[in-house]
Amino acid sequence: MEVSRDNNDTASKMKIQVDVKLHAKAEEVVFVKEGHYIVKVHQPPVDGKANQRVIELLAKHLCMYLYFWGHVTGS
C-alpha cells in the first residue's frame, strides 16, 4: 500500500506493507516492523467496506487525518 498527498507543490509519500485479516473478533493494528503492519477488521471484503475500515484504522494508528490518504494503491 502506498500513501501520498500533495502539500504545497511538494509530494510527501509514505510506503507501507499491510497484511489484512478479515472477519476478526477484535479490530486492531499490529506493528510487525518498520513499514509493515497487520490490520485486523470485522468487515468482509464487500463493496470496499473492509478497505475503507483498514484505511480508517491505519490513519488513527499513525495519527494521520483521513485526507492525507489521497492516493492509496495496493494489491
Model confidence over 9-26: pLDDT tens digits? 455 666 788 888 999 999
Read off the pTM: 0.73
The reported pLDDT for the residue numbered 64 is 73
Pure H helices in the chain = 49-61
**Is the model more confident about 1 or about 9?**
1
The reported pLDDT for the residue numbered 9 is 43
Contact between 39 and 22 under an 8 Å Cβ cutoff? The reply is no
Helix (H, G, I), strand (E, B) or coil at 7: strand
32-75 residue pLDDT tens: 998 889 999 998 888 888 888 888 898 888 887 665 555 555 55
The reported pLDDT for the residue numbered 39 is 92
